[in-house]
């Protein structure tokens, strides 16, 4: 069996040459095995596997008494060969047209994040059916391993990514616990539900939580071993990373991991990915990195670009620049060949009054241009002709998130009507913005959203008392939530929480002397601020308030209690 890459323009010439190679053999009559199309590279070439059509046979005899018969046989067989090769050519053309990068039908690189921080979303079964029948989305990323969601995607041919909470990482770092987790959360749904990835935690490395960081790779290894033992080797293990893992990102060639973590942590994690053929997952958000003068650069709109003098590359969009910064960091520790998957990226269709660029037109521009860019298979300046698996954030507008912008990252409203169409709908039910985005529950409870997803140390959360949190199991449905210390947490534990939260780059000036939240001046009060700031800034999942079992969610505003 031979593997070849065939430019469409030279397919026929290749077929002619292949026919000439067989001039000294006579073919047998069985039909040529079908060519199997593979995922193409992004250079316009078609990649196929071709099972040899014509087995080798003895060389034709030179016996003159049989020459006439042999020549006739040769001519007939040659014509048959050319007929088969013509059929193969048609198949190659079909393969090329079906998988050609940029083809509007080929949305194989785009997935969606399916969050549920809302009290008005449709049941998971309806969501799964909607994605299957009305969109081109064939993969979703969940923020937990909710069995109701996993059952909903059974027999839909939509692959699913499940997530393990930060707080569960230390316990699952040992094989028996990992095996138990796989048995309870994965095996009941396999193979009816296609599970593509298990993501371990949420942006763990950016937290600088030494306990979580120390257990992250052992947890990933234990889960992979448990999957292999359960004969589920097709499921890959990875962990999402914010761009806070980088100490430098501009220009892209200067990208490098945080000092002290580069070789001790990242190199080892990337070695795991290299050994298991799994991807390194990152969450680039140009939305959190743009300035007024770089808005067009962030939105994939025409702009002069940004030149990287070290590589001679000119960048015309921030998404490529952020990915190349990650690639440069990976390359510096020796793992530039590990695949990259984009776990989250998006732009809100509405924002707070002080966020004029959080609007429907910009959301359509960013997400729509991103989908086109990814599906074109152009890659990035440092990774040309490379296709990236990208998960848009998010599927729905979620009305229990704390700020206007956080509530409006969705491509769809809870009734499945599109907020705008980025090219993933099977029908023409939406060509663009359809109506104003959902309004927040109350303007008084909406803080700026820049603190809600920290892509870098520059993202700073507001004081804890000003942020209403998301929905969870403990407080009543729809209640605002804050993360506060448990009553039995010791001062030493709380001081450790303060130290690593402030070490992530979150703004702790308000709890320093003279700060707006310095009083009451005690560890518990300062820890309440720090822990809630971290919880709000890192996704507001329940596990973001774990803190080694020293944190708890409350619906009572700590600033008024």
Residue entry with tokens 């050319």:
82
* Orientation angle between helical segments 11-21 and 67-99, nearest 10 degrees: 150
Q: Mind giving me the DSSP string for 520-532?
A: S-SHHHHHHHHHH
Confirm whether 203 is a catalytic residue. yes
Instruction: Identify the helix (H) or strand (E) that includes residue 256.
Output: strand 256-257
> Tell me, what DSSP letter sits at residue 262?
I
User: Residue 378 catalytic?
Assistant: no
**Residues whose CB falls within 8 Å of the CB of residue 545, separated by 6 or more in sequence, listed in order:** 483, 531, 535, 551, 552, 553
Token pair recorded at residue 179 = 């095996």
User: Would the CA dihedral through 399, 405, 408, 411 be positive or negative?
Assistant: negative
Identify which of 287, 281, 412, 425 has the alpha carbon closest to the alpha carbon of residue 340.
281
85/91 Cα distance (integer angstroms): 10
Task: Spot the catalytic one: 203, 389, 398, 406.
Answer: 203
Please state at what angle helix 491-503 crosses helix 523-537, rounded to 10 degrees: 40
What is the rounded CA–CA span in Å between residue 7 and residue 240? 36
The DSSP-derived string for 312-368 is: TEEES-HHHHHHHHHHHHHHHTT-TTS-EEEEEE---S---TT-TT-SHHHHHHHHH
Q: How many degrees, rounded to 5, is the angle at CA 389 between CA 371 and CA 34?
A: 100
Put the strands of the sheet holding 240-242 in their side by side order: 236-238, 195-200, 159-164, 139-142, 110-114, 389-392, 340-345, 280-283, 240-242
Query: Cα dist. 79→13, 17, 86, 90 in Å?
Result: 16, 14, 10, 17
Reduce the DSSP state of residue 462 to 3 states and report it: coil
For 136, 331, 432, 547, the CA distances from 360, given in Å and listed in that order, are 22, 37, 9, 37
Active-site residue (options: 344, 378, 389, 398): 344
Catalytic residues: 203, 344
């Amino acid at each position: 069996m031979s593997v070849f890459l065939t430019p469409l323009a030279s397919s026929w010439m290749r077929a002619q040459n292949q026919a000439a190679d067989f001039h000294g053999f006579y073919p047998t009559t069985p039909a040529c095995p079908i060519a199997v199309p593979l995922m193409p590279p992004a250079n316009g070439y078609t990649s196929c596997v071709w099972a040899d059509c014509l087995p080798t046979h003895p060389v034709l005899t030179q016996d003159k008494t049989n020459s006439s018969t042999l020549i006739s046989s040769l001519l007939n067989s040659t014509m048959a060969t050319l007929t088969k090769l013509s059929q193969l050519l048609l198949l190659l053309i079909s393969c090329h047209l079906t998988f050609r990068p940029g083809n509007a039908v080929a949305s194989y690189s785009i997935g969606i994040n399916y969050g549920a921080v809302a009290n008005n979303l449709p049941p998971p079964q309806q969501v799964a059916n909607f994605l299957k029948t009305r969109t081109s989305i064939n993969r979703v990323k969940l923020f937990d391993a909710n069995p109701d969601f996993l059952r909903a995607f059974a027999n839909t041919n939509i692959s699913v990514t499940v997530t393990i909470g930060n707080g569960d990482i230390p316990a699952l770092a040992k094989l028996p616990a990992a095996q138990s987790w796989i048995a309870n959360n994965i095996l009941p749904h396999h193979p009816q539900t296609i599970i593509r990835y298990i993501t371990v935690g949420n942006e763990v490395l950016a937290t600088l939580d030494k306990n979580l960081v120390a257990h992250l790779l052992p947890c990933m290894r234990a889960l992979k071993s448990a999957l292999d033992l359960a004969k589920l080797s097709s499921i890959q293990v990875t962990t999402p990373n914010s761009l806070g893992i980088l100490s430098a990102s501009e220009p892209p060639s200067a990208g490098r991991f945080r000092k002290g973590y580069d070789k001790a942590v990242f190199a080892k994690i990337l070695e795991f990915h290299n050994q298991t053929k799994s991807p390194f997952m990152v969450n680039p958000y140009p939305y959190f990195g743009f300035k007024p003068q770089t808005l067009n650069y962030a939105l994939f709109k025409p702009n002069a670009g940004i030149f990287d003098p070290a590589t001679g590359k000119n960048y015309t969009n921030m998404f490529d620049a952020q990915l190349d910064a990650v690639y440069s960091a990976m390359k510096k520790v020796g793992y530039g060949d590990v695949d990259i998957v984009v776990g989250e990226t998006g732009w809100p269709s509405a924002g707070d009054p002080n966020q004029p660029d959080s609007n429907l037109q910009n959301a359509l521009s960013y997400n729509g241009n991103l989908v086109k860019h990814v599906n074109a298979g152009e890659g990035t300046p440092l990774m040309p002709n490379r296709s990236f698996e990208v998960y848009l954030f998010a599927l729905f507008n979620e009305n229990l998130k704390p700020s206007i912008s956080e509530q409006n990252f969705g491509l769809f409203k809870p009734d499945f009507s599109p907020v705008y169409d980025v090219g993933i709908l099977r029908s023409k039910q939406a060509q663009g913005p359809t109506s104003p985005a959902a309004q927040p529950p109350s303007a008084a409870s909406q803080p700026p959203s820049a603190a809600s997803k920290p892509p870098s140390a520059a993202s700073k959360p507001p004081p804890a008392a000003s942020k209403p949190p998301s929905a969870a199991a403990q407080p009543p449905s729809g209640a605002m939530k804050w993360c506060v210390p448990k009553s039995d947490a010791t001062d030493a534990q709380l001081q450790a929480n303060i130290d690593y939260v402030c070490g992530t780059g979150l703004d702790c000036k308000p709890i320093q002397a003279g700060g707006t939240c310095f009083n009451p001046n005690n560890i518990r009060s300062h820890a309440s601020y720090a822990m809630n700031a971290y919880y709000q800034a890192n996704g507001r999942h329940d596990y973001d308030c774990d803190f080694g079992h020293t944190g708890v969610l409350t619906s009572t505003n700590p600033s008024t209690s």
